[in-house]
Chains A and B, each alone.
Chain A
């Protein structure tokens, strides 16, 4: 069927481009490692939360952050493609906007997950050693988080026309998503306004599930986390596919 073939073609292209740009792979790992080394180990030796050393506590948060950044910033490649005119050649092909969106989405998720796996491996040698089942569950949840955030990044990329605008909008979105997600602090005993903010933030549920999987400390039951992520994913995917329709034909 041409939906799958179209989406597969787009994904294949993304993947080939990704593996040929080594910088792209490495650059995604640098800031999480700095966070981990500085924040985690810096505070970890003297601070612990809910009985867990702080470095162990934020490792799931940093992992989620890696996926968050890789996924959201993936949307910027739409703008590069557009600048290079490459995108036009794809847009004029007789494939549906949903196939196009799906191909891009899976491309972005694949890239983010490569980063996540690499960080899990590096983490293992730095002393973060979850159970195998925990690691697999965490990767599954991270995949779902990546679907949400890649779709959001693609939506922003399709709506904006300059890389500068994209950077701006993404920064405005990405920092509150990250900071108010419980990636850096536990969700218990927060002031009520902050507690509300975190509960409205879809990423909170992602971080919670990843932390539950890796170190067994979750604030919500897993099914609530997954349900919240699924609802958010459905909403952004829907909006994203619509935005790709405008890409395919300018008004």
Chain B
């Protein structure tokens, strides 16, 4: 049985359909990504699943409980990390966790042990008694993530967990999310508008645009459906015929000594390709990425990307 299933879940604000007929199911243990630009409906979707907003129509179940009729059971089953920080600045890290443990009725005899364990998990043990207002953005985010885990939820919702963090801190937070998902054995649903975040963390991704799912699949399959990887190399004695005959090569273009090869699964096939490439003086590789997938399925580029994400590549 899926841990989350939605059926035609819809949220309207006046004329605007923030989320429109969303039907999907998420299996236990997945790290599932909702990828979409600003205003796509990601937060609205999570808020409905977390029972913070009521759907206009449609229904959903989380951990077997109906989000409209069994709100308390749903709430007990989930942890939620909001977009933006929602930690309490005037409390220490430990106090933040203690108060939340009470709100979730975590029995007082295991409370301390659980808090210590989680603080250690995100390496905040030595800052446990500092006021959160002195924390950096990354530290607050880590605290928020474990705060959502205190009561052993089955599902953890993360709304843009790395928004506004620098690339290094972001990678750091990813590491913690992966660690938490593995050690706590929970299902994680995260939203993001960073392509590489979805790509590196998620088993499956739903690309969502204007409140609708444009496509849903594993990152590998999404990329496969959209097109091929590319390799560019310069060589003065490449064997173009031989290259063409390789079964993973889809297309070859030549301009003087420069070759542009479109192929499948570059990570696996690059070595055999280069065997036929003669004296190669330079190579550039550009794997298909989710950005291509996004453009393919929505017909437009993702707005609002950050520069230097490492995914922008050559134009196709």
Find out whether the CB atom of A92 lies under 8 angstroms from the CB atom of B50: yes
Known: A5-B105, A17-B88, A84-B86. A249 touches B72 (CB 8 A): no
Question: Which of A6-14, A54-62, A68-76, A190-198 lies at the binding interface?
Answer: A6-14
Which A residue sits closest to B131, measured CB to CB? Answer: A20
Find out whether the CB atom of A85 lies under 8 angstroms from the CB atom of B82: yes
Contacting residues, chain A, for B87 (C-beta < 8 A):
86, 89
Which residues from 246 to 304 on chain B have a C-beta closer than 8 Å to any C-beta of chain A?
Answer: none
Interface residue range, chain B? 20 to 34
Find out whether the CB atom of A251 lies under 8 angstroms from the CB atom of B54: yes
Find out whether the CB atom of A6 lies under 8 angstroms from the CB atom of B103: yes
Find out whether the CB atom of B91 lies under 8 angstroms from the CB atom of A17: yes
Find out whether the CB atom of A93 lies under 8 angstroms from the CB atom of B75: yes
Find out whether the CB atom of B54 lies under 8 angstroms from the CB atom of A9: no
Residue among B87, B100, B103, B144 with the highest chain A CB neighbour number at 10 A: B103
How far apart sit A235 and B298, CA to CA, in the bound complex (Å)?
Answer: 53
Contacting residues, chain B, for A13 (C-beta < 8 A):
88, 91, 99
Contact check: which of A8, A16, A88, A94 meets B82 at CB < 8 Å? A88
How far apart sit A9 and B90, CA to CA, in the bound complex (Å)?
Answer: 15
Contact check: which of A2, A17, A89, A95 meets B86 at CB < 8 Å? A89
B52 at the interface (CB under 8 A from A): yes
Least CB distance from B194 to A in Å reads: 20
Find out whether the CB atom of A92 lies under 8 angstroms from the CB atom of B52: yes
How far apart sit A88 and B47, CA to CA, in the bound complex (Å)?
Answer: 10
How far apart sit A86 and B89, CA to CA, in the bound complex (Å)?
Answer: 9
Known: A92-B75, A249-B54. A85 touches B86 (CB 8 A): yes
Find out whether the CB atom of B86 lies under 8 angstroms from the CB atom of A9: no
Find out whether the CB atom of A89 lies under 8 angstroms from the CB atom of B100: yes
Least CB distance from B141 to A in Å reads: 13
Contacting residues, chain A, for B80 (C-beta < 8 A):
88-89, 92
How far apart sit A250 and B75, CA to CA, in the bound complex (Å)?
Answer: 15
Which residues from 1 to 50 on chain B have a C-beta closer than 8 Å to any C-beta of chain A?
Answer: 47, 50
How far apart sit A10 and B147, CA to CA, in the bound complex (Å)?
Answer: 16
Find out whether the CB atom of B104 lies under 8 angstroms from the CB atom of A93: yes
B59 at the interface (CB under 8 A from A): no
Which residues from 207 to 251 on chain A have a C-beta closer than 8 Å to any C-beta of chain B?
Answer: 248-251
Which A residue sits closest to B133, measured CB to CB? Answer: A20
Majority secondary structure of chain A interface residues (helix, strand, loop or mixed): helix
Known: A249-B51, A249-B71. A89 touches B90 (CB 8 A): no
Contacting residues, chain B, for A84 (C-beta < 8 A):
85-86, 89
Least CB distance from A27 to B in Å reads: 16
How far apart sit A244 and B82, CA to CA, in the bound complex (Å)?
Answer: 20
Residue among B47, B71, B72, B99 with the highest chain A CB neighbour number at 10 A: B99
A21 at the interface (CB under 8 A from B): yes
B196 at the interface (CB under 8 A from A): no
Least CB distance from A131 to B in Å reads: 39
A91 at the interface (CB under 8 A from B): yes
A169 at the interface (CB under 8 A from B): no
Contacting residues, chain B, for A92 (C-beta < 8 A):
50-52, 75, 78, 80
Which residues from 97 to 126 on chain B have a C-beta closer than 8 Å to any C-beta of chain A?
Answer: 99-100, 102-105
Least CB distance from A54 to B in Å reads: 41
A90 at the interface (CB under 8 A from B): yes
Find out whether the CB atom of A249 lies under 8 angstroms from the CB atom of B82: no
Find out whether the CB atom of B102 lies under 8 angstroms from the CB atom of A5: yes
Contact check: which of B52, B76, B102, B104 meets A249 at CB < 8 Å? B52
Find out whether the CB atom of A94 lies under 8 angstroms from the CB atom of B88: no
How far apart sit A85 and B43, CA to CA, in the bound complex (Å)?
Answer: 14
Known: A94-B72, A94-B75, A94-B76. A89 touches B89 (CB 8 A): no
Contacting residues, chain A, for B90 (C-beta < 8 A):
16-17, 20-21
Which residues from 1 to 56 on chain A have a C-beta closer than 8 Å to any C-beta of chain B?
Answer: 2, 5-6, 8-10, 12-13, 16-17, 20-21
Find out whether the CB atom of B100 lies under 8 angstroms from the CB atom of A93: yes
How far apart sit A94 and B163, CA to CA, in the bound complex (Å)?
Answer: 27
Pairs A-B, 10 closest by C-beta atoms: A9-B102, A94-B75, A85-B86, A93-B103, A89-B86, A94-B76, A250-B53, A17-B90, A94-B72, A2-B105
With contacts A89-B82, A94-B103, A249-B52 known, what are 8 further pairs, Cβ within 8 A? A13-B91, A17-B91, A85-B82, A85-B86, A94-B72, A249-B53, A249-B54, A250-B54
* CB-defined A-B contacts under 8 Å, sample of 16: A8-B102, A9-B99, A12-B102, A17-B90, A84-B89, A85-B82, A85-B84, A85-B86, A86-B88, A87-B86, A89-B80, A92-B80, A93-B100, A94-B104, A249-B71, A250-B54
B contact residues vs A (CB 8 Å cutoff): 47, 50-54, 71-73, 75-76, 78, 80, 82, 84-91, 95, 99-100, 102-105, 131, 144, 147
